[in-house]
Structure 1
Amino acid sequence: MRNAIDCISVLLKIIWHICMLVKTELASTIQQTYKMDKKTSVTIHDIARELNISASTVSRALNNNPRISQATKDKIKALALKLGYQPNIIASNLRNQKTNTIGIVVPLINRHFFSTFISGVEDVAFEAGYNVIISQSNDLFEKEKQIVHSLFSNRVDGMIVSLSMQTQQFDHFQLFSKKNIPLVFFDRVAPQLDADKIIVDDFACGFKATQHLIDQGFKRIAHLAGPTALNTYKARMEGYRSALEKNNLPVNDELIIFNRLTRMDGQQAIKQLLALDTPPDAVFCGNDTSALSIIVYLKSIGIRVPEDFGIVGFSNEPFSEVVTPSISTIKQPAQEMGQKAAELLIFEIEHKENPRKYQTITMPTELIVRESSLRKS
């Protein structure tokens, strides 16, 4: 019996020693793993140690400093790639007080003009080493304010903006002005604010579109206008009125309808116009979306376009060329406007001239005549 107890005692001691060895080995493994995990981020000091050079030389080479020879740059970059080095962008931005990020705020991304404009901005920004954050206000003032505050909080280096239809106050942009962060407005701009602006001559566009309808023999021309709180739509309306006056045609306020220029707005507007005692025989629309909805409605009630009713839109949306009848419209150089806006903004970011010389650049437009207004050859 005693021999059995002694055997069990010896066995328990052996098991205890094995457990202690396992515990020690496990602790060592965990410690080694922890050390390895801590070392997963390769730094410029690791690269410098491998090549027996200074960390400052590595930093300059990775940033393409001209003081470092091309051979040294190639050697450092090859090792950085092999070791999986990743620069700490956040730390670099904090040191340089620069994020290399541009914010863009547009009313509606799904409109061809705005999406093409954004493409133009990105062309220039990418080449200059800038990232782009794109946001849409959905033509809502409160959403525009929230977006602007968010972009400011995210420390963008500058911002490109086209105002929402509801915007009549501009205090939210003062955040950028007070911190000397550049702003560029385009299309729907804020005349009250000191900033670079990219526009077209909306007065000339309104005049050109209306004059074309007059030249085609239309006599009683209506205008579907956006909110005239925005200088864009106000100028187009003034161009429309000026063309009527120049041709000794009456300017009739009941033929001018203000709305948001949506598809539903266009349909409601044409119903209202046709209900007048003396309805119009043509309309100049503030955009192509409302022009299309008017064509669809007129066709549904048997009014022929352009034989009975002429239509000119604005913006040259892709659908304006392929619908039947195709829509006469005003074309804006959206891609070029985006490129120019990005060039202005990046120049402001990188030069910080004081005092600034703000520019308003007016881009050319084109009247594209198609079936919806062409009554005379």
Structure 2
Amino acid sequence: MKYNQVTIKDIARELGISPSTVSRALKDHPDISPETKKAVNELAEKLNYQPNIVALSLRQSKTNTIGVIIPELVHFFFSTVISGIEDVAYSAGYNVIITQSNESLQREKTDIKALFNSRVDGMLISVSRETNTFDHIEGILAKGVPMVFFDRVYENANSSKIIVDDLSGAKEATLHLIDQGCKRIAHLEGPPNLEITKQRLEGYLEALKDHNIPVNKNLIMACPLGTIEEGKKATEKLLAMAEPPDAIFATNDPAAMGAMQAIKEAGLKIPKDIAVVGFSNWFFSALLDPPLTSVDQPGFEMGQEAAKLLIRQIEMKTKNSDIDVQPETKVLKTRLVVRDSSLKKGKKK
């Protein structure tokens, strides 16, 4: 028999018992003898029997499956988030379907529709950098599907979210550069529609204000894609200024890596001439020359907390479909990982 053709009827026919007996044996029903249960389960394993999830969901209105939409699978931060999600979900008896929007609003719309049609019990979403309209999300929320946003969130009073304190992390990074004696600190700014970009910019500005350093808008360069190439081009423009910066705080590590490339190609030294700090603490940050100072985000913990919150909401809706689940927001702390790219004074904090 082929794997996908094995049914309860096949097992019943092989053992010469009724399909209802097989069904009850697989559910460990007390009316079925231990011998029959053993025979049924052994044959089910031998034939690679798997329950029909679709049929079960139609009967139970629950699939024990959650859907996840992330911007990019290759992104180190999001890969750690997925690990955290799966750690909690599988322990709680839930399967996980992962999709990626590939930073496309249209793909995000397609993914959310596909997950809904797959009858997932709830969704975990981190929006794409193109997402500036939310009708596709509102449509699913209106149908009562539990939904939790993480990292890149939909700012809606009725939605739950797990975020990191981007403002605090950016402020700590900028204060560190100020502590190293830097006064002309540039900022490579990320996608303008994302709340994390706004929070990181705000943290940068607050740090300057706290030390009475005037804000020079020419030192804030747009990097809407947050790529290595953008970081490099933006830094080349900064270095061409009459008074170039003595430090750069980038919205993410790829942009910071591009900045480091431009600085080196200009014949300047890091951090002696220009200090550099990134955000996210990608796995390659410690491998750069010099190693990159970066703001670490607890990706694994974020995934865990997002999955816990979603599953809790799913279970509440399962017990009472009419219940009005109250939205929750959890903010996780960041941590500045100081490395050689920013140490003008030659010491770690």
Which protein has the bigger helix share? 1
Q: 1:21 aligns to what?
A: none
1:47 and 1:80 in contact (8 A); partners too:
no
Choose 42-51 or 98-107, whichever is displaced more.
42-51
2:153 and 2:161 in contact (8 A); partners too:
yes
Q: 1:217 aligns to what?
A: 181
Which stretches in structure 1 are left out of the alignment for 5+ residues?
Answer: 1-35
List, as ranges, runs of 4+ consecutive aligned residues in structure 1 with deviation greater than 6 Å: 66-71
Q: From the superposition, tell whether residues 61 and 131 of structure 1 become closer, same or farther in structure 2 (CA, over 3 Å).
A: same
SS at match of 1:313: strand
Q: 1:306 aligns to what?
A: 271
How far apart are 1:273 and its partner, in Å?
1.1
Match of 2:130 among 166, 180, 185: 166
CA distance in 1, matches of 2:241, 2:195: 29
Q: From the superposition, tell whether residues 201 and 51 of structure 1 become closer, same or farther in structure 2 (CA, over 3 Å).
A: same
Larger radius of gyration: 1
AA paired with 1:372? Answer: S
Residues 236-255 of structure 1: per-residue CA shift (max 9 Å, x gap): 10010000000010111111
Q: 1:345 aligns to what?
A: 310
TM-score by length of 1: 0.83
Q: Percent identity?
A: 48
How far apart are 1:98 and its partner, in Å?
2.3
CA distance in 2, matches of 1:230, 1:63: 47
2:170 and 2:201 in contact (8 A); partners too:
yes
How far apart are 1:71 and its partner, in Å?
6.4
Residue 315 of structure 1 pairs with residue 280 of structure 2: yes
Q: 2:301 aligns to what?
A: 336
Residue 255 of structure 1 pairs with residue 219 of structure 2: yes
Which stretches in structure 2 are left out of the alignment for 5+ residues?
Answer: none
Q: 2:192 aligns to what?
A: 228
What is the root-mean-square deviation in Å for CA atoms of aligned residues?
2.4
Number of residue pairs matched by the alignment: 339
Residues 71-110 of structure 1: per-residue CA shift (max 9 Å, x gap): 6643442344456654333211221222332221111111
Residue 375 of structure 1 pairs with residue 339 of structure 2: no
Q: From the superposition, tell whether residues 83 and 295 of structure 1 become closer, same or farther in structure 2 (CA, over 3 Å).
A: closer
Q: 1:359 aligns to what?
A: 328
Residue 272 of structure 1 pairs with residue 241 of structure 2: no
CA distance in 1, matches of 2:310, 2:289: 41
2:146 and 2:314 in contact (8 A); partners too:
yes
2:11 and 2:43 in contact (8 A); partners too:
no
Q: 1:146 aligns to what?
A: 110
1:42 and 1:84 in contact (8 A); partners too:
no
TM-score by length of 2: 0.89
Q: 1:282 aligns to what?
A: 247
SS at match of 1:375: coil
Q: 1:198 aligns to what?
A: 162
AA paired with 1:351? Answer: M
1:310 and 1:372 in contact (8 A); partners too:
yes
CA distance in 2, matches of 1:84, 1:233: 49
